[in-house]
Amino acid sequence: MNLAIDIGNTRTKIGIFNQQHLSTVMTFENSKEINLQEIITGFDIQQSVISSTIEIPEYISAALRELTKNLILDHRTKLPFTNLYSSKETLGKDRLALVAAAQANYPSQNNLVIGCGTCITFNFINAKNEFLGGSIHPGLKMRLQAMHAFTGKLPLIPLENKAELIGNDTKSNMLAGVLLAAGKEIDGMIDEYLVKFPEMNIIITGGDADLLVYRLKNEIFAIPNFTLIGLNHILEYNA
């Protein structure tokens, strides 16, 4: 069995794979220690891959060192696609994983993967299995936080799945400005890609994907846990 670990800024997501099949997903707050040894023993884990936006906690590193193979994803990791990104050292590891998942699910096709997390990222891999790059946009919560931080009176409101074109109070106005505008922004970006690449798969994933996918006019595959799928594909490629 394979273990894929994706450590974000606030949460850690763990996926258990039987080769390419994702059988179990677990999510933990970073503030709490994970009993990783229990997971490794309980699922008979043989090899693992880890991606982290923060420094990997020592207790996690110690547990993974006991495995036959432990791959830590970075810019030097061998990838199942050609990475044409110029500044490879600054490229987010989650974006590498998303592109790897697209290459695994739809090989030798044009794929646009939209990751909806802290930031909204567009990631394009062409039919030659070349990752060309994409773009980075503020995420939904980041937009709400920015309106609060850079104005004198706008409150910090929680992100909710509710937005009307014409809001009638400050909260509904802010949610409309975030959810509806982000949807239009994504649709507009997709339209630009389709001009250049009429034959293209469009995949949306990430924690906020459910808030956006049904607001989009383009035909899109909504696939959860795409980052974990990509991490496991990279692990299998390096086996």
**CA dist., res. 71 & res. 96, Å (int):** 14
CA distance 85 to 2: 28
Burial level of 220, CB count in 10 A (0-12/13-18/19+)? buried
* Catalytic site includes residue 187: no
CA 120 to chain centroid, in Å, comes to 9
CA–CA separation, 102 and 113 (whole Å)? 7
Q: What is the C-alpha to C-alpha distance for residues 114 and 140, in angstroms, rounded to an integer?
A: 13
CB 13 within 8 A of CB 22: no
Close Cβ partners of 145 (under 8 Å, ≥ 6 residues apart): 156
Distance between CA atoms of 66 and 83, rounded to whole angstroms? 31
Catalytic residue among 74, 94, 169, 210: 94
Q: Which residues are catalytic?
A: 94
